[in-house]
Structures are given as structure tokens and as C-alpha cells.
Amino acid sequence: MNRRAGQHAQLKYWAKRAGLIVAVTGTVIGGLAYASSSGYFDQLEGRMMRSLHAQMVDTGFKVNNVIVEGRQNANIQALKYIVDIQKGQSIFEPDIHAIQDKLEHVTWVKSAVVERHLPDTIAIRLEERRPMALWQHQGKLSVIDTEGEVLADGNLGRFKHLMILVGDEAPKQAKDLVSMITVEPDLRSRVESAKWIGGRRWDLYLKNGVSVKLPEDDLGQAVRRLASAQGEAKLMDRKIQSIDLRDPLRIVVQTEPGAVEEYQASYHPQKNI
């Protein structure tokens, strides 16, 4: 009986202890939950960070310079809005990773690097997308890059020197064509536009009104043949209506409605022309 009484007393003792622990734990958890929901911890963290940044400013780690390199076409006001760094604030306060991510969502920006250069400079390096051509689509012009991405559709005056592309799929197909024409300066200065035909080949339109039919295959060879014919016989300067390069062995020239002649370019296979 005494043993049972002792065991019963021990159980009551530990039950009280357990109840007290549960009560205290519940109170602590409840207090933490209330503090969290009321924003107390956020306020405490905010006060600590403000104090830390104030100390950084006092010790000379503050923003005096924001340097941006590589900007040519990206809107400067949009960049300022995204960066939003104030002169005199702690050099450690701006979230440079968040700024970098936002900059890389700007249409003109291909990539961005944002760095702290202690003690007082934020350095931003931009790699902008390169404008390749103007795309005429649904009666509207847009400037596109080498990947076919639309970069802008307004204030295009500074891009008037670019070739105009026509066709729904033209932006995605034009990179090779533009590159080939660009390395032939005499040809590039004469080409006004290019149209993607039937989802498989290009027609060029020269500034003097002459059209040039390019083949589906061996595009590079056809462009070189045209450049060679211009160098040898000033073919594109003649009073003609069209030039057909779709036959790899000859160039067919239309001089007037219904009349054609064959221009035999003096090329040799070993010259790859």
C-alpha cells in the first residue's frame, strides 16, 4: 500500500510538472505567434538593419557614385526607376541581385552585372541586344535583334539605316541573310528590304527597284555570286527589273516585261563564287 501511495504521488508530481511545461510552452508559442502576426519581429529586424546601415554610412561605406556602362538604346528613365539608388545611402542597403534581375527584364538588356565597389560605388554593366533589322508586320515597323526579338516599335528614326524584313517568320530566319549581306558592303548599301517567301527562301528588293530572287539552298553562294556579278559587270546598276539566282549555274535577268537574258557570271568552282 505504501509503495502504491508513493507511485501515485510521483505520478501526480510529474503530471503537474508536465502540465506546467505544456502551459508555459503554449504561452511562449502563443506569444511568438502573436508577435509574428503583429509584425513585431519585422519591426525589430527593420530597426536593427536601419541601425546597421546608419553605422555603415558613418564609417564611410555610403553611395557616392552609380556608374552604368554599356547603355546605348535602353531607356535611361526606366533604368533609373529600376535601380533606385540614392546618393548617401549605405553601400550595403541596395539589393544588387534584385536590381540585376529587374534590369535583365528590360527589353533592350540581354544581360546585366551589378557590383559593389567599396567603399562608395555601385557599378552596373549592361550588355544590350544588337538591333539587326526593321520588321514590317501588319502595317507596323519594329526593330528586332539577331534572335528575332522585338526591341522597340517607336522612335525608330535612328534605325532607318537597317534593312526592312517582311513576312511572319522573317525575324527568326533573317540572321544568316543579314550577316551575309553585311559583309558585302556594295550589296548592303543597295538592299532596302527582304521578304521571306513561302516559308523557305528570300527575295531582296534593291533601292533602285530591282528585285533579286535568292535560292532555297546555298544562300551564301548566291549572295557571293551577286556581289561578284556587281563587281565584274555592274549588274545591279543596269536598267533591269529583276535578277534570278535560283539556278546555281546561271543568273537570269529580266530587262523588261516578257524579256529575259542570261548573264553568265565568270566564276569558278574552286573560287567558291
pLDDT in tens, 218-232: 999 999 999 999 989
Average pLDDT of 111-131? 96
Task: Quote the CA–CA distance of 241 and 192 in Å, as a whole number.
Answer: 15
Q: Is 70 exposed, middle or buried (0-12, 13-18, 19+ CB in 10 A)?
A: middle
Residue 60 — very low, low, confident or very high, per pLDDT cuts 50/70/90? confident
Average pLDDT over residues 146-167: 94
**172-207 per-position pLDDT tens digit:** 999 999 999 999 999 999 999 999 999 999 999 999
Helices H, strands E: what count in the chain? 7, 13
Q: And the C-alpha cell for 187? A: 550589296
Q: Which amino acid is at 85?
A: I
Confidence of residue 270 (pLDDT cuts 50, 70, 90): very low
- Determine the pLDDT at residue 30: 53
Q: What is the pLDDT of residue 142?
A: 96
According to DSSP, residue 97 is labeled H
Predicted local distance difference test score (pLDDT) of residue 255 = 84
Burial class from Cβ neighbours inside 10 Å (0-12, 13-18, 19+) for residue 136 reads: middle
Q: In terms of pTM, does the model score above 0.85? A: no
Taking alpha carbons only, the member of 264, 261, 259 closest to residue 225 is 264
Tell me which CATH code domain 60-128 carries.
Answer: 3.10.20.310
pLDDT of residue 39: 57
Indicate whether 78 pLDDT > 60: yes
- Tell me the pLDDT band of 259, cut-offs 50, 70 and 90: low
Domain range summary for the chain, segments of one domain joined by +: 2-38, 60-128, 131-271
Mean pLDDT of the chain: 83
Residue 263, pLDDT > 90, answer no
- Is the pLDDT confidence value at 266 over 50? no
From residue 130, how far is each of 108, 109, 212, 256 by CA, in Å? Answer: 8, 10, 27, 40
Buried-state track 71-85, b at ≥16 Cβ within 10 A, e below 16: eebbeeeebeebbeb
For the domain with range 131-271, which CATH number is right: 1.10.1060, 1.10.10, 3.40.50, 2.60.40? 3.40.50
Task: Determine the Cα–Cα distance for residues 61 and 89; give it in Å rounded to an integer.
Answer: 9
- Using pLDDT thresholds of 50, 70 and 90, give the confidence band for residue 162: very high
The whole-number pLDDT of residue 33 equals: 56
Position 35 scores a pLDDT of: 46
Burial status of residue 219 (CB atoms within 10 A of its CB: 0-12, 13-18, 19 or more)? middle
**pLDDT score at 257:** 67
Dihedral sign, Cα of residue 221, residue 227, residue 233, residue 234: positive
Q: Is 131-271 the same fold as 60-128? A: no
Confidence band of 29 (pLDDT split at 50, 70, 90): low
